[in-house]
Structure 1
Amino acid sequence: MKKTALVIMAAGIGSRFGEGIKQLTPVDDYGHVIMDYSVYDAIETGFNEIIFIIRKDIETDFREIIGDRIEKICASKGVDVKYCFQDINNIPGEMPVGRTKPWGTGQAVLAAEPLIDSAFAVINADDYYGKEAFVKLHDWLIHSHLHNELAMAGFILKNTLSDNGGVTRGICQVNVQTMTLSEIVETHNIVKTGNSAEADGKVLNPDSYVSMNMWGFPTEDETSKPAFLQVLKDGFVKFFETDVLDNPMKAEYLLPVLIGDLLKTGTHTVEVLPTQDKWFGVTYAEDRQSVYENFKELISKGVYGKGFLK
């Protein structure tokens, strides 16, 4: 079977693993966190390598609380687990004086670049994506694609909203005849409004596609690294020559923004893989109970059985 890696962006986890760290909030009666479900779904789908992007200062705690448990599960299934470290100082330019804000998801994936030698998918550590998205993305990755062809799990906006406040989503324009992405706009503070949604007073189509930072990057053959990694490197250099000069304290190198720029220039295409699964996440403390109830329902329906829960 063709090698496929799942890259999990977890560098945002804090150094103190207390009650307030949302990525480590138990979401069921068995002590699992959302990452447990993502890794399980990925393995069941056929991914055979897990790469965690963390920070060096949290490595010991991460392994103790999350990593060691997942490593044991992966080892029993022949799945490799690797770690890499996102470092704010690993940049292609000078560090702006006083900068403390991380550089974003684009730099996170670059931290994993030395470990990536196969087709790979990227996800956030604290989002539950559902089984369908993993199946579709894995099935896409195991086939050959041109170097400039990418894929994205396309979620439905109304399935990705919080009842407790605004969220940020990449609102997508999709050519429904070809199921390819035409445009992606990072949109902040999207809130539920009855059966619809809006952002800054603008009404949004609740059935529109959105990105949840679940991307697929292929290889043209099994002997080459994904070509997108070089695009990502080159883009980071350009980002420092432009965005950082304009906004040195807050500019972020974000995957959806870079991919949106690639679409504008016409150098890349993105196939949208639609999923009807509902997103779960602990964006707000108030989300915790609803996330717990949603997982409880999935368990009661047998979506996750004793083999996973034990």
Structure 2
Amino acid sequence: MKQTALVIMAAGIGSRFGKGIKQLAKVGPSGEIIMDYSIHDALDAGFNKVVFIIRKDIEEEFKQVIGNRIEKITQVEYVYQDIQDLPEGFTCPKERTKPWGTGHAVLAAKKVINEPFVVINADDYYGKEAFVKIHEYLVEDREKTDKMDICMAGFILENTLSDNGGVTRGICALDEQKNLIGITETYNIQKTENGPAAVEEETGEKTALDEKTLVSMNMWGLTPEFLEVLESGFRKFLSETKPEELKKEYLLPTVVDNMIKEGTAQVAVLKTHDTWFGVTYQEDKEKVMESFKELVRKGIYKEQLFS
């Protein structure tokens, strides 16, 4: 069996675990958190290693909440995203407090990844289908070309909305072969009586969106070679970032988008029909808990997930 890894971006978790930390809200019938389901589905799909991207200051508590349990069922690695962890020749501005973004987070895992991998957010439920499709893509033998073959899960927009407010989604443009042409970050997408719409916060103006359009939920199927591009790209990003740009981020979708425009990557968009769950708003938690209960009732998951 080919080695493949699940990489979970969890460095954004708050330093005070428990009440109010959305990534660690207990949503399963036996106290599972969303990350448990992602790990379960990834292992079922064939991934055989888990890499947690965390911060040093939450390591002990993180291991108590989830890490120690997962270490008993699969290989686990911990890597640390640190705002001060920059390439030689660069220093972090003293005034900067914001992390450098998802590209920097994944780069922290470079030293422990030698296999194809899927990267996900810690606080999103993606469903089983996406993990299966991405794993199949990553282990498939294909002819080498001058373009890097990577992939992403494409979720149907109507399956990714919240009942409790607007969400940000990356709207995907595809070519005839279902490869990604580009992603448009679209803000404050809400459910309306006429279907999903991007709502301008100041004016209330609505731009209707196709409910069947595919969106990115930051679930990427990548290769070790991608990390080399990520590393060189981060140096370029830092060299072009002005000291006063304290909130500028190095983001995975931007890196991928640049590779597509440069003709160095081909990104297959793998459509998934599963419904996304996430606790974007505190009010979402109750619905998410009910959704997991329903999945247990349907036999998709056991009541005690890893039993």
Normalised by the shorter chain, which TM-score bucket? over 0.9
Q: Please state if 1:217 is matched with 2:212.
A: no
Q: Deviations over 1:159-206 (max 9, x none)?
A: 10111111111110012x311011111222221222522222322211
User: Equivalent residues in 2 for 1:131-170 (5 A)?
Assistant: 131-145=128-142, 146=144, 148-170=148-170
Secondary structure of residue in 2 paired with 1:196: coil
Q: Which moved more, 1:10-19 or 1:276-285?
A: 10-19
Between the aligned partners of 1:135 and 1:247, the Cα distance in structure 2 is: 43
The residue that corresponds to 1:42 in the other structure is 42
Between the aligned partners of 2:158 and 2:98, the Cα distance in structure 1 is: 30
Secondary structure of residue in 2 paired with 1:51: strand
* Identity, % of aligned positions: 56
The residue that corresponds to 1:194 in the other structure is 193
Residues paired across the two proteins, number: 296
Q: Please state if 1:21 is matched with 2:16.
A: no
The residue that corresponds to 1:178 in the other structure is 177
5+ residue gaps, structure 1, are: 219-225
Between the aligned partners of 1:43 and 1:267, the Cα distance in structure 2 is: 30
User: Equivalent residues in 2 for 1:53-202 (5 A)?
Assistant: 53-72=53-72, 74=73, 79-92=74-87, 93-145=90-142, 146=144, 148-175=148-175, 177-199=176-198, 200=200, 201-202=206-207
Letter in 2 for 1:198: A
Between the aligned partners of 2:141 and 2:82, the Cα distance in structure 1 is: 33
Q: Which moved more, 1:32-41 or 1:189-198?
A: 189-198
Q: Deviations over 1:121-174 (max 9, x none)?
A: 100000000000000000111123546111000101111011111111111001
When residues 247 and 202 of structure 1 are mapped into structure 2, their CA distance, relative to the original with a 3 A threshold, is farther
The residue that corresponds to 1:227 in the other structure is 225
**TM-score between both structures, scaled by the size of structure 1:** 0.92
Give 1:246 deviation, angstroms.
7.5
**TM-score between both structures, scaled by the size of structure 2:** 0.93
Between the aligned partners of 1:250 and 1:115, the Cα distance in structure 2 is: 28
Equivalent residue in structure 1 for 2:277, among 275, 280, 289: 280
Q: Which moved more, 1:108-117 or 1:146-155?
A: 146-155
CA contact (8 A) 2:29 2:304 kept: no
Letter in 1 for 2:212: D
Q: Which ranges of 4 or more aligned residues in structure 1 deviate by more than 4 Å? A: none
| Root-mean-square deviation over aligned CA pairs | 1.4
Give 1:97 deviation, angstroms.
3.0
Q: Which moved more, 1:190-199 or 1:97-106?
A: 190-199
The residue that corresponds to 1:223 in the other structure is none
Between the aligned partners of 1:274 and 1:65, the Cα distance in structure 2 is: 32
The residue that corresponds to 2:203 in the other structure is none
Give 1:96 deviation, angstroms.
2.0
Q: Please state if 1:10 is matched with 2:5.
A: no
Give 1:309 deviation, angstroms.
5.5
CA contact (8 A) 2:156 2:212 kept: yes
Secondary structure of residue in 1 paired with 2:133: helix
The residue that corresponds to 1:236 in the other structure is 234
Between the aligned partners of 1:211 and 1:164, the Cα distance in structure 2 is: 20
Secondary structure of residue in 1 paired with 2:100: coil
